[in-house]
Structure 1
Amino acid sequence: MSAASPSSASGMARRAPLIIVLCGCLIAMLTFGPRASSGIFLLPMTAEYGWGRDTFGLAIAIQNLLWGLGTPFAGAIADRYGVARVLCAGAVLYAAGLALMAYASTPGLLHLSAGVIVGFGLSGCSFNIVLAAFGKMLPDRWRPMAFGAGTAAGSFGQFLFPPLAAGLIGSVGWQETLIVFGGAMLMVMPLAVALMSPPRVAVASAEPKQTIGAALGQAFRHPSYVFLVLGFFTCGFQLAFVTTHLPAYLTDRGLSITIGGWTLAVIGLANMVGSLSSGWLSSRFSRRLLLAWIYFARGVVIIVFILLPASPITSIGFGIGIGLLWLSTVPPTSGLVMLMFGTRYLAMLYGFAFFSHQVGGFLGVWLGGLLYERLGSYDLVWWLSVALSFASAVINLPIVERPVAERRHPAAA
């Protein structure tokens, strides 16, 4: 088992790694679904309360930022005290935020519920924590495909929840839909039992002891880690902008909200293929080159989409194209972090990379709403997304794919 030796892995990891993967994937699916459906709630909520799209966009931007800000801390707690506790606490916050969002009749309450509470809830129970658990608990041979499967499961949540949200909003209303989604988040708690392990149980026995401060200093002095973190910014910018504003963008161009919901669903479905393929490729080919090609291809797909006339065919085609590249950045990114620094602080160090991702998400959602209200279109944000794609393709090229030269630091007293 190499990095996860029998002496350090939990009993379940030794006996039933498939159970860990299945439960982790279900958690990723449940928690990613409502977040991926946020764009479906934009038009009904802004229409009912008379808000601009910038008001709703700012709430989701805050959510993305706090999701990213909380993830390194949630990861550090999970590294020290175990993943299951963090997942349960995050699920409770997530459910409470969605329930409060259903009754958020003022911008302040919307920003508190959909922004602050849901954001911190996501930081404790999203697929990032699940992937860290996979890295710690599973044998080497399971990890690459488990990373891809966990990411793909989040994508299945994106396939399942947006059409479900659109259907429920049409039949029972948007408030009731949020209550249903909040209740669904509580299902994370029993599933988290499969990821329960003693504190620091999955730390590789060959890795020297290291303090949290030393691990962070080592990471941010390492140029390849910095390049990886900077490149991940673009991924967050694009994903958050598309998830929140694509349904409204398609409606502006004469298509129905149903087409918007199905386009988001197709993105999730295609990303199941893309994420699994990325997990497989990242174990066999250069991860930095894989990331560069993914970002470059995203830029090309976006250019084609915004230049073609709007139609159901072009929308679904865009969903397929961008979906194959949607979360395919996650397996090579998490794999590079684990390769460079090992598994001891994987959740925390990947969390800081994810924070960069979520800063990008904050700007993508916020600028989308702000520039729409100022300019009356999303065109400038689309072209900015293209420019960031090509920049990230270049940024990932200098990454060195090997473990850091020195891991020995004084242990904590």
Structure 2
Amino acid sequence: MSAAARPSLATRAPLLVVLCGCMIAMVTFGPRASSGIFMLPMTGDYGWGRDTFGLAIAIQNLVWGIGTPFAGAVADRFGVVRVLCVGAVVYAVGLVLMAYSSTPLMLQLSAGALIGFGLSGCSFNIVLAAFGKMLPERWRPLAFGAGTAAGSFGQFLFPPLAAGLNAAIGWHETLIVFGFVMLLVMPFSLALAGERVETKAGDLPQQSIAAALGEAFGHRSYVLLVLGFFTCGFQLAFVTTHLPAYLIDRGLSISVGGWTLAVIGLANMVGSLGSGWLSSRMPRRYLLAAIYFARGLAIAVFVLLPASPVTSIIFGVVLGLLWLSTVPPTSGLVMLMFGTRYLAMLYGFAFFSHQVGGFLGVWLGGLLYEQLGSYDLVWWLSVALSFASAAINLPIVERPVQRGLQPA
């Protein structure tokens, strides 16, 4: 059999492709999910306010969101391996430089811009787009859930690891170790090299990038999906960065914060896999509305209850089941509407909305804490956004875009 006729790795060994993609998602998601563990040591050593650290992580979220559509467009055009490798190197450099950031400007460059750009090129968003292009259709719902769950396992693994390493070797050295770990992305990315599976009937292989963007942003359901995803980013970034400090303010230890973040990641493995499974068995708009509504209830109950290790861990479990469970139905809806040709780019624009929310969640968390001495206002804003997003997702129409006709 000639090389040209040889089936792709995704056809011959789809499980291997999924496993390598999951390893990339785990490694890249872990350190950024640990950012809250580094806030108090860094601000304590340098005398910064939480707003200074929060602004750097807010910049990270915003740059991650800005860079993702462009990284997705490059991956759509030239393949994911180059994008993943460059992203991993930039991410690693950002982590190492963060260890030596003794000024707010340097922190904004390292933890903010560099890690943000690195994430845009090597996070689970690119991995999920690769799954959508490479894997046979029957593998995609499970792969989307598995890739998202793998990122959650990184969140389970890295925060307590970061807390332990901070105590054992110091936060500077911990960041350097995480930087070298990031280079593992490069060998795993080789499994994602290959051609896409056969083009779906809804795809337009010759469609230009400009035409694809015009079609997407003229599509009402896509715009609603993008707007709803804003809330997900707001909540995830705020909780990841500020929850450990919030729990310390309520009289708990840093280890409780680390384990709460870890439990969120562990529970989300179940939530993401379950969401991927449900995405192929029920209307995705109803699934998204239910997730956002349940998040709002969970956050409201958590804020109203007295703080304790038990309530924190229970909150982590409940929120974890809903944490990244929005990703499989969101990416699945983008693929259903527009096909796989520009999946990485179009999902990237949805993710940009997510990261604008993340920017505001982290930044407002630090800013309002310094002004009001409390996170309460941001918690209740998060509850209100949850209920708004639940309503926004209900009118979405779940069908492929009608080419040449007025979109739904």
Matched, 1:233 2:230: yes
Matched, 1:221 2:192: no
Contact 1:267/1:319 (<8 A) preserved: yes
Q: Which of 138, 144, 147 is equivalent to 2:144?
A: 147
Secondary structure of the structure 1 residue equivalent to 2:323: coil
Secondary structure of the structure 2 residue equivalent to 1:344: coil
Matched, 1:359 2:371: no
Q: Which of 132, 155, 158 is equivalent to 1:161?
A: 158
Q: Which of 101, 112, 116 is equivalent to 2:109?
A: 112
Secondary structure of the structure 1 residue equivalent to 2:329: helix
Letter in 2 for 1:34: P
Partner of 2:199: 204
Identity between Structure 1 and Structure 2 (%):
79
Partner of 1:253: 250
Residues 54-81 of structure 1, C-alpha deviations (whole Å, 9 max, x = no match) = 0000000000000000000000000000
Partner of 1:124: 121
Matched, 1:271 2:268: yes
Partner of 1:78: 75
> For the residues of structure 1 that align with 2:241 and 2:316, how far apart are their CA atoms?
14
Q: Which of 324, 338, 347 is equivalent to 2:335?
A: 338
Residues 183-238 of structure 1, C-alpha deviations (whole Å, 9 max, x = no match) = 0000000000000125xx44616432200000000000000000000000000000
Q: Which structure 1 segments of 5+ residues have no match? A: 1-6, 409-413
Letter in 2 for 1:17: P
Q: Which of 365, 381, 386 is equivalent to 1:384?
A: 381
> For the residues of structure 2 that align with 1:29 and 1:107, how far apart are their CA atoms?
29
Aligned length: 400
Partner of 1:45: 42
Of 201-210 and 172-181, more deviation after overlay is shown by 201-210
Contact 2:37/2:258 (<8 A) preserved: yes
Contact 2:200/2:340 (<8 A) preserved: no
Q: Which structure 2 segments of 5+ residues have no match? A: none
> For the residues of structure 2 that align with 1:308 and 1:286, how far apart are their CA atoms?
34
Partner of 1:347: 344
Contact 2:65/2:356 (<8 A) preserved: yes
Partner of 2:92: 95
Partner of 2:188: 191
Letter in 2 for 1:204: T
Secondary structure of the structure 2 residue equivalent to 1:87: helix
Letter in 2 for 1:79: D
> For the residues of structure 1 that align with 2:333 and 2:183, how far apart are their CA atoms?
32
Letter in 1 for 2:180: G
Letter in 1 for 2:366: G
Partner of 2:300: 303
Deviation at 1:13, TM superposition (A): 1.1
Partner of 1:399: 396
Partner of 1:14: 11
Contact 1:10/1:137 (<8 A) preserved: no
Partner of 2:179: 182
> For the residues of structure 2 that align with 1:175 and 1:254, how far apart are their CA atoms?
26
Of 250-259 and 204-213, more deviation after overlay is shown by 204-213
What's the TM-score, normalizing by structure 1?
A: 0.95
Residues 64-105 of structure 1, C-alpha deviations (whole Å, 9 max, x = no match) = 000000000000000000001100000000000000000000
Deviation at 1:286, TM superposition (A): 0.5
Of 163-172 and 399-408, more deviation after overlay is shown by 399-408
Deviation at 1:407, TM superposition (A): 6.2
Partner of 1:137: 134
Contact 1:91/1:121 (<8 A) preserved: yes
Contact 1:31/1:126 (<8 A) preserved: yes
Letter in 1 for 2:345: M
> For the residues of structure 2 that align with 1:225 and 1:205, how far apart are their CA atoms?
19
Secondary structure of the structure 1 residue equivalent to 2:231: helix
Contact 2:35/2:240 (<8 A) preserved: yes
Contact 2:237/2:358 (<8 A) preserved: yes
What's the TM-score, normalizing by structure 2?
A: 0.97
Secondary structure of the structure 1 residue equivalent to 2:374: coil
Secondary structure of the structure 2 residue equivalent to 1:403: coil
Change (3 A) 1:233 1:60: same
Change (3 A) 1:146 1:205: closer
Contact 2:156/2:263 (<8 A) preserved: yes
Partner of 1:411: none
Letter in 1 for 2:237: A
Deviation at 1:11, TM superposition (A): 1.1
Contact 1:30/1:154 (<8 A) preserved: yes
Letter in 2 for 1:372: Y
